[in-house]
Amino acid sequence: MNVPTTLRKIGVKPSKLYGQNFLVDKEVLEKIIEVANIKKGDRIVEIGPGLGVLTGALMAKGASVLAIEKQREFVDYLRNKFKHRNVCVVANNALFAIPKLTVEPPYSVIANLPYSITSPVINLFLTKAPTPPQKMILMVQKEVAERLTAPPRASERGILTVLVEMLCCGKRIVFSVPPTSFWPPPKVYSAVIELTLKEEYSKAMVKKTMAVVKAGFSKKRAQLKNALKPSFIDVEKTLLSLALDPCLRAEDLTAKDWQRLANHIKHK
């Protein structure tokens, strides 16, 4: 497929605002499919399928694909392209669709995510999807991939890092992807990440823990005793009782540390 020509035919100009960069590297596509290890009948949710390059590769392996696409031109193109195939194209904004997603488990999410919605899409699948996926294989900005997989004490850690660490039993950067693998080429490197979700977790515990995590990261460079003080009582005392140094910063704690803290700290 000649991506620029096809886009011109359907009247679409790639949007920098929405981070639209179309995968044109067949080798990268084959590596994603290899990592996914698709079996006939597997259910896949794809976000932002665009011209359906990944969609077609997933379908060719025997997967049943639910593709969520916001842009009308792509919706019409995909429905025509995959007519009478095992592909369902949903015309919706992924950020609205995920909390109402009706897909029979188990399923996986495999997508070349638009850069502008990477973090909210991951967050929604982890916390708001009626049934979370088994696995997520995602093309994201390399910087985001490094943030999501950053170990404790790494400065790249953030709120989403802790959430991923808490809810995933496996997380890894599979391989890096250069800008030349896309059209138009982005200004940054990308990476494919694989997140394997835990089979069970308490949504109530997640909500409780993340409230403390968000408070801790609200002043990322501050010591925990100061970052948490506006929202909680006896902060220093609670931290010491859990053998956590009050002078640590949010990035220093593991997901388990945050869960322990959430179970003991009291709101004002």
Judge residue 104's burial from the number of C-beta atoms within 10 Å of its C-beta, 0-12 exposed, 13-18 middle, 19 or more buried. exposed
CA dihedral for 246, 251, 253, 258, sign (positive or negative)? positive
* Average per-residue pLDDT for the chain: 95
pLDDT of residue 196: 98
Q: Could you tell me which of 256, 138, 115 has the C-alpha nearest to residue 198? A: 256
Q: Could you tell me which of 113, 104, 132 has the C-alpha nearest to residue 88? A: 104
Cis peptide preceding 106, ω within 30 of 0: yes
Residue whose tokens read 């660490």: 165
Contact 83, 90 (CB under 8 A): no
pLDDT value at 1 more than 90: no
pLDDT value at 190 more than 90: yes
Average pLDDT of the residues in 223-229: 97
Structure confidence at residue 260 as a pLDDT band (50, 70, 90)? very high
Residue whose tokens read 């990476």: 191
Instruction: Show the domains of the chain with their CATH numbers.
Output: 3-197 (3.40.50.150), 203-267 (1.10.8.100)
Average pLDDT of the residues in 167-175: 97
Q: Tokens at residue 258, please?
A: 């945050």
Residue whose tokens read 């369902």: 88
Amino acid, res. 57: A
* DSSP 8-state assignment for residue 186: P
43-47 and 64-69 as β-strands: parallel, antiparallel, unpaired?
Answer: parallel
pTM (predicted TM-score): 0.94
135 - beta bridge partners?
108, 196
Per DSSP, the residues of 17-30 read TTT--EE--HHHHH
Percent of the chain with pLDDT over 90: 93
pLDDT value at 30 more than 90: yes
Q: Is 219 helix (H, G, I), strand (E, B) or coil?
A: coil
pLDDT of residue 176: 98
pLDDT of residue 116: 87
Alpha-carbon distance 58 to 19, whole Å? Answer: 22
Q: Tokens at residue 199, please?
A: 């089979």
- CA 235 to chain CA mean position, Å: 32
pLDDT value at 181 more than 90: yes
pLDDT in tens, 73-116: 999 999 999 998 899 999 999 999 999 999 999 999 999 998 88
pLDDT of residue 17: 80
pLDDT in tens, 108-147: 999 999 888 999 999 999 999 999 999 999 999 999 999 9
Residue whose tokens read 């596509």: 29
